[in-house]
Amino acid sequence: MTKYIFVTGGVLSSLGKGITAASVGTLLKHSGFDVGMLKIDPYINVDPGTMSPLEHGEVFVTKDGAETDLDIGNYERFLDASFLKSANFTTGQVYSSVIERERSGGYLGQTIQVIPHIVGEIVNRIKKAGEGHDILVVELGGTVGDIEGLPFMEAIRQMKHDEEVEGTFFIHVTLIPYIKAAGEMKSKPTQHSVQELRRIGITPQMIIARSENALPKTFKKKLAMSCDVHPDSVIEALDAATIYDIPVTFLRQNILKSISKELELGELNPDMEEWDTLVKKIVQPKHKTVVGFVGKYLELKEAYKSLTESLIHCGAHLDARVEIEWVDSEEIEEKGAEALLADCDSVLVAGGFGSRGIEGKIQAIEYARVNRVPYLGICLGMQLTLVEYARNILGLEGANSVEFDEETPHPMVYLIDNFLDQNGGAQLRTHESPMGGTLRLGEYPCDTKDGSLIQKAYNGAKTIHERHRHRYEANPAYRAQLEKAGMIVTGESNGLIETVEIEGHPWFLGVQFHPEFTSRLQTPNASILAFVEASLNAE
Ligand code: GLN
CA pair distance 237, 54, nearest whole angstrom: 27
Tell me: the pLDDT tens digits for 144-175?
989 999 999 999 999 999 999 999 999 999 99
Domains of the chain, by residue range, sit at 3-277, 285-536
State residue 436's pLDDT score. 43
Neighbouring-strand partners of residue 371: none
Contact criterion met (CB below 8 Å) for 275 and 246: no
pLDDT for residue 53 is more than 50: yes
E strand or H helix that includes residue 295: strand 287-295
| HEC sequence for 428-482 | ECCCCCCCCCCCEEEEEEEEECCCCHHHHHCCCCCEEEEEEEECCEECHHHHHHH
Lowest mean pLDDT among 163-177, 421-435, 476-490: 421-435
Confidence of residue 49 (pLDDT cuts 50, 70, 90): confident
Chain mean pLDDT for the chain: 92
pLDDT for residue 423 is more than 70: no
State residue 435's pLDDT score. 43
Contact criterion met (CB below 8 Å) for 15 and 236: no
pLDDT for residue 432 is more than 50: no
CATH fold match for the domains 3-277 and 285-536: yes
State residue 426's pLDDT score. 60
What pTM does this model have?
0.92
Contact criterion met (CB below 8 Å) for 91 and 44: yes
End-to-end CA distance of the chain, in Å? 56
Shortest-distance Cα residue to atom 8 of ligand 1 = 351
Q: How many CB atoms lie within 10 A of CB 538?
A: 16
Query: Is 379 one of the annotated active-site residues of the chain?
Result: yes
Q: What percent of the chain has pLDDT over 70?
A: 95
Tell me: the pLDDT tens digits for 216-247?
999 999 999 999 999 999 999 999 999 999 99
Q: CA nearest 377: which of 391, 392, 362, 390?
A: 362
Fold for 3-277, please state it. Answer: Rossmann fold (3.40.50)
3-class secondary-structure state, position 285: coil
Active-site choice (30, 172, 468, 514): 514
State residue 434's pLDDT score. 42
Fold for 285-536, please state it. Answer: Rossmann fold (3.40.50)
Ligand 1 binding site (Cβ under 6 Å of any ligand atom): 351-353, 379-380, 403, 469-472
Q: CA nearest 22: which of 337, 275, 375, 344?
A: 275
E strand or H helix that includes residue 466: strand 463-470
Over residues 442-464, mean pLDDT: 96
| HEC sequence for 147-193 | CCCHHHHHHHHHHCCCCCEEEEEEEEEEECCEECCCCEECCHHHHHH
CA pair distance 309, 299, nearest whole angstrom: 17
| HEC sequence for 354-372 | CCCCHHHHHHHHHHHHHCC
Confidence of residue 418 (pLDDT cuts 50, 70, 90): low
Over residues 415-423, mean pLDDT: 66
Over residues 128-136, mean pLDDT: 96
Tell me: the pLDDT tens digits for 269-326?
999 999 999 999 999 999 999 999 998 766 677 889 999 999 999 999 999 999 999 9
State residue 31's pLDDT score. 97
Query: Is 133 one of the annotated active-site residues of the chain?
Result: no
Please, what is the angle between helix 70-79 and helix 17-29, to 10°?
30
Exposed, middle or buried: residue 250 (CB in 10 Å: 0-12, 13-18, 19+)?
buried
State residue 427's pLDDT score. 59
Length of the chain: 539
Using the atom order of ligand 1, give the atom closest to the CA of residue 354: 1
Please, what is the angle between helix 150-159 and helix 188-200, to 10°?
70
Q: CA nearest 49: which of 441, 424, 498, 520?
A: 441
Over residues 50-75, mean pLDDT: 86
pLDDT for residue 428 is more than 90: no
| DSSP one-letter code for 216 | P
CA pair distance 421, 64, nearest whole angstrom: 11
Tell me: the pLDDT tens digits for 372-383?
999 999 999 999
Q: How many CB atoms lie within 10 A of CB 420?
A: 15
Over residues 516-539, mean pLDDT: 96
Contact criterion met (CB below 8 Å) for 400 and 411: yes
Over residues 176-203, mean pLDDT: 93
Query: Is 314 one of the annotated active-site residues of the chain?
Result: no
Using the atom order of ligand 1, give the atom closest to the CA of residue 472: 10
Active-site choice (314, 379, 446, 505): 379
